[in-house]
Chain A
Amino acid sequence: MIADIATVFWKEWREIAAWGRLRSKLGILILTGVFGIFMPLQEGRGWIENPAYLVMWAWMPLYLVSGTIADAVAGERERHTLETLLASRLADSAILLGKMAAGATYGLALTWINVLVGMITVNIAFSSGSLLVYQPAVLAAMLIFSLLTAVLAAGVGVLVSLRAATARQAQQTLSMTMLLFLLVPIMSTQFLPAASQAQLSQALEGLDPLQAGLTVGGMLLVVDVLLILAALARFKRARLILD
């Protein structure tokens, strides 16, 4: 099973690497330019020392994974490669998990390249002799949260991709979903009465960071597991052939 997941993972990465579209390569360069160079130069040492940026690094895989995972099933169906793949000896779960793993690691890899480039930028521009690095707790939280959100995006992405007729349609639906995922919590607070907003702000400030992190992390983990189970239940040969 692990070998089969690795085989699908290998193929997906080969396809990502071979996808020579200028637009996607340019997108990656712009992203690194913004999050690896421009913003660190604007923020200075705070880019590394302020733990609030943790939220941004946790968000980034959502955006990056959704760009590739949309292609996972809808793209194969559109390019008529899915049926041949389903006619092979691979188990449904191996195909699905291999695709999800490839999408998630792609988002994670790019996120961590940006983290690294940002750290180098800050050290070159603002170091006063000693190396500026993330605090171990922040670094661990960044690793865990980026992983959890990458899996979240892969889970949502593969479910959307399963239902979409084309990769483009999947990508559009997924972009909207991710946008809502980000905007709804932010916008909804704007509609709260001022007193409630103040109460919420006070409550957030009073939170123990470790406890809050564990709670959010635990919730994300539960959602991730549920999404993987839902995707496994939906990804069935007979159904995909009829789709």
Chain B
Amino acid sequence: MNEFAITSEGLCRDFGALHALDGLSIRVPAGSVYGFLGPNGAGKTTTIRLLLGLLEPTAGRAEVLGYDTRTQAAAIRERCGALLEHTGLYERLSAEDNLEFYGRIYHLSAPERAERIRTLLSHFGLYERRADKVGTWSHGMRQKLAVARAMLHRPPLIFLDEPTSGLDPIASAELRGDLSSLASKEGVTVFLTTHNLAEAEKLCHEVAVIRQGRLLAQGTLAELRARSGLPRLEVNGSGFTPELLQSLRARPEVASAEVQDGRLVLELQRDAESAPLVTMLVAGGAEVAEVRRAETSLEDLFLSMMEEQP
């Protein structure tokens, strides 16, 4: 098996004068959950369409599971599951018929189809409503069914476009658990787009951030943090006087010191120790109730990238 489930080199796609995707080069490790993040209109859907061979690139190339998207698209689609922008479910049909149809498409045998459909519907808590027309279901239930459909034929790679959209917090957490275990236990690669950055932070081994068709950053969360943010120390308490802040700012390991909402926030230089700073605060007359070393969140990283000039 290849080390990477997806690789792309300078992938471009133009729609007339619009550069929907501009030189995208990514590497998605096999067996990982890969988050593909970007604001609306960034080129996420176009990327999925190109990777599934639904569109031809204007320039560049991509390989999915070792197959060229331009010349071997059928082989790619044979081996992938997908939940795209819309659930793509047939609302006049029952949940069972929807899965039966896709089971037939992927040539699962009749007993295998029956077993997979029962297992997946039970797993997602939909089995009791299997005979109901999908059109009568809630958005969350449909979303779960669409995820089940993408997993039906046990593909080694699944594309999921906003899979937890419309799910309640419990269902979202369960789905995150499922996706995580798919990757860790079954070696399935999950290519995930989401606007929920907290979710991506919990779930993704690596992320890529795109804006206006251009890749802004790619890597593990730790790598992105190392590239763009400094560690922070948050201190809850009182007595953070201007003189004390002045003394803190004078220290070489402190990049900045501010009081925000009654809380002292220190931005530290890399590898700075926090204990001497706490000692200094106490010695300076501050009352320290809680000290927390905060990592830069993915949301902070994402927002700072979006604020940068294109």
* Minimum CB–CB distance for A175 against chain B, Å: 22
Say if the beta carbon of B295 comes within 8 Å of chain A.
no
A89-B105 in contact (CB<8A):
yes
Complex CA–CA separation, A89 to B77 (angstroms): 5
Beyond A18-B92, A80-B88, A89-B77, 17 additional contacts (C-beta under 8 Å) are A3-B107, A18-B94, A79-B90, A79-B91, A81-B86, A81-B88, A81-B90, A83-B85, A84-B86, A84-B87, A88-B77, A88-B105, A89-B105, A90-B105, A91-B74, A238-B56, A241-B55
Query: In the assembled complex, which residues on chain A have CB atoms less than 8 Å from the CB atom of B54?
Result: 83, 86-87, 237-238, 241
Q: In chain A, residues 1-37, which have Cβ atoms closer than 8 Å to a Cβ of chain B?
A: 3-4, 7, 10-11, 14-15, 18-20
Q: In chain B, residues 37-87, which have Cβ atoms closer than 8 Å to a Cβ of chain A?
A: 49, 52-56, 74, 77-78, 80, 82-87
A87-B107 in contact (CB<8A):
no
A83-B90 in contact (CB<8A):
no
Q: A83, A89, A237, A238: which has the most chain B beta carbons within 10 Å?
A: A89
Contact mask for chain B residues 103-146; partner A; CB cutoff 8 A; 1 contact, 0 none: 01111000000000000000000000000010000000000000
Say if the beta carbon of B175 comes within 8 Å of chain A.
no
Interface size class of B (residues with CB under 8 A): 20 to 34
Complex CA–CA separation, A20 to B92 (angstroms): 8
Number of interface residues of A (CB under 8 A): 26
Complex CA–CA separation, A159 to B84 (angstroms): 26
B93-A7 in contact (CB<8A):
no
| Contact of A83 with B104 at beta-carbon distance under 8 Å, contacts A18-B92, A91-B74 already known | no
Say if the beta carbon of A85 comes within 8 Å of chain B.
yes
Complex CA–CA separation, A7 to B97 (angstroms): 12
* Minimum CB–CB distance for A77 against chain B, Å: 11
Complex CA–CA separation, A81 to B78 (angstroms): 18
Partner among A3, A81, A87 whose Cβ is within 8 Å of the Cβ of B77: A87
Least CB separation from A88: chain B residue: B105
Q: A3, A10, A14, A19: which has the most chain B beta carbons within 10 Å?
A: A14
Partner among A15, A80, A242 whose Cβ is within 8 Å of the Cβ of B93: A15
B101-A10 in contact (CB<8A):
yes
Complex CA–CA separation, A90 to B78 (angstroms): 8
Q: Can you list 14 contacts pairing A with B, beta carbon distance less than 8 Å?
A: A14-B93, A14-B97, A15-B92, A81-B86, A81-B89, A83-B54, A84-B86, A85-B88, A87-B77, A87-B82, A87-B159, A88-B106, A91-B74, A242-B55
A84-B84 in contact (CB<8A):
yes
Partner among A11, A15, A83, A238 whose Cβ is within 8 Å of the Cβ of B86: A83
Query: In the assembled complex, which residues on chain B have CB atoms less than 8 Å from the CB atom of A90?
Result: 105
* Minimum CB–CB distance for B280 against chain A, Å: 59
B104-A10 in contact (CB<8A):
yes
Least CB separation from B15: chain A residue: A242
Query: In the assembled complex, which residues on chain A have CB atoms less than 8 Å from the CB atom of B4?
Result: none
Query: In the assembled complex, which residues on chain A have CB atoms less than 8 Å from the CB atom of B94?
Result: 18
B88-A84 in contact (CB<8A):
yes
Least CB separation from A91: chain B residue: B74
* Minimum CB–CB distance for A80 against chain B, Å: 4
Query: In the assembled complex, which residues on chain B have CB atoms less than 8 Å from the CB atom of A238?
Result: 54-56
